[in-house]
A and B are shown apart, each in its own frame.
Chain A
Amino acid sequence: MHLVLEVDDPDSTMTAEARSDMIDRVDRIIRTRIDQFGVEEPLIQKVGGDRLIVELAGIDDEDRAKGIIQESAFLEFNKVLPTAEFDQALSRIDRSIVATLGVDSRPALGRDVVDESDARENLLFGTDSSAVQNDAAADSAEAADEPVDAIEDALRPFSSLLFTGDVEGTYFVAAEDRPIAEQFLAMEEVQRAFPRDQKLRWGADLLAQGARNYYRLYVLEEDAFLTGEELEDATAQRDPQFNQSQVQFELSRAGGRRFARFSGANVGNYLAIVLDNEVMSAPVIRDRIGARGQIEMGQGTPLEEARDLALVLRAGALPVRINIVEERTVGPSLGQDSIDQGTIAGMVGIGMVVVIMITYYGAAGFLAVGALGVYVLLVLGGLAGLNATLTVPGIAGLILSIGMAVDANVLIFERIREELDHGRATRTAVEEGFEHALSAIVDANITTLITALILFQFGTGPVRGFAVTLSIGIVASFFSALFVTRSFFLAYLSGKKASDPISI
């Protein structure tokens, strides 16, 4: 799995320096997380000043690994405030929406107002839903008793989405209304109409009430009295009684003191545990709490998820949100297929080279094949040493370098043949052949190496793989042609007299 991560900064508000600094911090935290996750030899590398490449090999569950990398894991503890405190702000918020978007605010955001008020009617009076829906289809805006509601809703675009919640400090919002509510809340004008020291946060769980689903919207104190930074340890557990996964955490001493002070002063109030801006749970404070607490994961959540959360909490929160800007995953089966096919094709290819070389050059061909064998060992050793994984471009690099390794031998042998044609003695011809072929081999290899190095500089991911295998291949082919073939040749000649014929 190959991931490229970037700091989430859509409006480019951060300076390049700040982004670079952020990525350094993200780098450290992700490293810790991956270590704890238990991936062997991960490659984590900062590139271009503000990006992070994460390469993980041999992962079974890639989604899980991605979750662990990407999860911000920003934990906050906030006091839940009674909705009464927020209600006064609601009319201000409604007015600001109407002032900005007009009375047709919801259609303006792509929602049909009429349809919606129908649905609400449905819920409040328990009418048969299919009948009302049919009405709606037949343009129910003309129905006598509905325009009033529609107008009222149009004047209260936001507050008409809210229902009284089940716990103190919460509203209910129908699941299908959540997107539009989020859009309202994201508006700058709405943010300005917010009461000071208060904020709204969504609950993580979807609640079924009757036929519809709702999300809780919590009213929270703006500033968290405690954050995940004060966390010392976190472990996942299963609560057998409720069949619930939970993460138990332990706070540092300072954090524990602050927690105890807060809980002591707020007995009877609710406390929200907020993870990445979502309220995980909001238990009532029954007593002064010390340095321990727990995060409920909701019913039916697998224990694994709780484990992952505990892991990221231990490793620490990411200082910013990060985006995956590039992802390349090859499933284990395709990877294995490609490797199998590539291996077979490669072996057949090398077999053909062997046949051609031996047919064409006789005994000298054997020497070249021996040198190619050394070349293959060198390349495999080099690849293993650099911990490189073979990709399609990587195979391309190898083919080019095998071609060059063969080419070097061919250049030398052709040259030896020419020298023999000129009537030189065997040993002299071999010496001259190596000598004269040298300049062509050097120049060809160096120009290709230049290309490979440029590619390494400019390329990312797969192209870099190409550059790496090509560079390794060139160095290996250079060495094998000039030194290995030569040594083999000298060994071959050692039993012969200077004028004995050779098989080439």
Chain B
Amino acid sequence: MRLFKDASYKFIEKRRTAYVVSAIVIATGIAAMGYNIVSLGSWQNYGVDFLGGSLVQVRFDQPTSDAELREALGGATAPPITQFGGEGTGEFVIRAPLDESVSITQVADNVETQIRANLTDRTFEVVRRELVGAKVGGELQQKALLAVLFSFLLTLIYLAFRFELRFGLAAVIATAHDILITLGFLAIFRVEIALPTVAAILTILGYSLNDTIVVFDRIRENMRMKGARKRDPVDLVNQSINETLPRTVLTSGTTLAVLCALLVLGGAVIRDFTIVLMLGVVIGTYSSIFVASPALIEIQKRWGMGQSASEKKKARPQPATV
């Protein structure tokens, strides 16, 4: 079996359409972030991991409604309660915000005691506790940001060293594009940002980078071929994308298949996470073709970077390097 053998799509020529599509998607995401700032007070729906607070997940042995649980925890003053894993499971997640006067463990213990005292005819099990102090939450936010920035920087340096600076720049632009879209998606659907979400974003970063590098590797190789210098850069990049297309489709397809299995069978704990990853795989594939490669061409056109010193010495008229 063979797909996309000898494909010759004109990807780069369609780049303007892609720019518009990307711009619309990113703008929608940024608008959602703005809306969240106004209505939620924060651009993303940060969870306990980053805001600090106490998350307690309980599973009742008897049928229990969320209204009963809310009543037991103080009615109107109860902390936010969400059903876990669908109606009728008797499983709930309670998110108590930080309280400066008591410790995080105390808050969680209080929640448990209150349920025990007010729902005396039920028995329940505490299946999960995630407690994060205020300082730790703030630090986690900062560290996650630093980690992403540092990996950008080091990737840039590595690619500049292994390829050329413009390849590094183009790869970082594509990755930033993917992360922006992912963050926009998270903001639109107000997906709770927890540590696994950060891991998902970083996985997307890794995946997108991997995809981009494979295409770039082929461009680099084709540039070294005989007569490459005389070719139209757009043509050369198109050829490289088409040559790697079977691999791109197969790898993305396989990864999506694994993620589908995870989505259907993996259980409620990782559902959000899997959805974010699937989105990331699609965006990562799209961006390596429609963002990273065009970015390479644009950088070349605008700043003419990537000419080696020897080429400049020869001073050929309009060297058609890519």
- Residues of A whose CB lies within 8 Å of any CB of B are 4, 6, 66, 323-331, 333-334, 337-338, 341-342, 344-346, 348-350, 352-353, 356-357, 359-360, 391-393, 395-397, 399-400, 402-404, 406-407, 410-411, 414, 417-418, 436, 439-440, 443-444, 446-448, 450-452, 454-455, 457-463, 466, 470
Assess whether B205 is interfacial by the CB under 8 Å rule: yes
User: Which secondary structure dominates where chain B touches chain A?
Assistant: helix
CB distance from A289 to the nearest CB of B (A): 38
Contact with A along B243-264 (1 / 0, CB 8 A): 1101100110111011111101
Pairwise interchain contact A403-B207, C-beta atoms closer than 8 A = yes
Contacts of A396 in B (CB 8 A): 196, 199-200, 203, 273, 277
Could you list 22 A-B pairs, sorted by A, with CB under 8 Å? A4-B136, A323-B133, A324-B104, A327-B131, A334-B127, A337-B267, A338-B270, A349-B258, A357-B254, A360-B1, A392-B270, A396-B277, A403-B255, A410-B247, A411-B247, A439-B220, A440-B217, A448-B209, A450-B155, A455-B151, A463-B198, A466-B199
CB distance from B105 to the nearest CB of A (A): 5
Chain A residue with the shortest CB-CB distance to B217: A440
Pairwise interchain contact B269-A392, C-beta atoms closer than 8 A = yes
Assess whether B210 is interfacial by the CB under 8 Å rule: yes
Docked CA distance A461–B266 (Å): 22
Pairwise interchain contact B210-A447, C-beta atoms closer than 8 A = yes
Pairwise interchain contact B1-A450, C-beta atoms closer than 8 A = no
Pairwise interchain contact B251-A403, C-beta atoms closer than 8 A = yes
Residues of B265-279 contacting chain A, CB below 8 A:
265-267, 269-270, 273, 277
Q: What are the nearest 8 A-B pairs in CB distance?
A: A393-B199, A341-B267, A325-B133, A349-B258, A440-B217, A334-B127, A345-B265, A349-B261
Assess whether B18 is interfacial by the CB under 8 Å rule: no
- Residues of B whose CB lies within 8 Å of any CB of A are 1-2, 57, 59, 103-105, 108, 125-133, 135-136, 140, 143-144, 146-147, 150-151, 154-155, 158-159, 162, 195-196, 198-200, 202-203, 205-207, 209-210, 213-214, 217-218, 220-221, 243-244, 246-247, 250-251, 253-255, 257-262, 264-267, 269-270, 273, 277
Pairwise interchain contact B199-A462, C-beta atoms closer than 8 A = yes
Docked CA distance A326–B130 (Å): 8
Task: Specify which of B125, B203, B250, B270 is in contact with A342 (CB 8 Å cutoff).
Answer: B270
Contacts of A66 in B (CB 8 A): 105
Pairwise interchain contact B196-A393, C-beta atoms closer than 8 A = yes
Task: Specify which of B105, B217, B254 is in contact with A406 (CB 8 Å cutoff).
Answer: B254
Task: Specify which of A323, A392, A439 is in contact with B196 (CB 8 Å cutoff).
Answer: A392
Pairwise interchain contact A349-B218, C-beta atoms closer than 8 A = no
Q: Other than A403-B210, A447-B158, give 7 A-B pairs with Cβ distance below 8 A.
A: A326-B136, A328-B130, A331-B127, A338-B270, A353-B257, A353-B258, A396-B277
Docked CA distance A96–B144 (Å): 50
Pairwise interchain contact B207-A400, C-beta atoms closer than 8 A = yes
Known contacts: A406-B251, A447-B158. The answer to whether A327 contacts B105 by CB under 8 A is yes
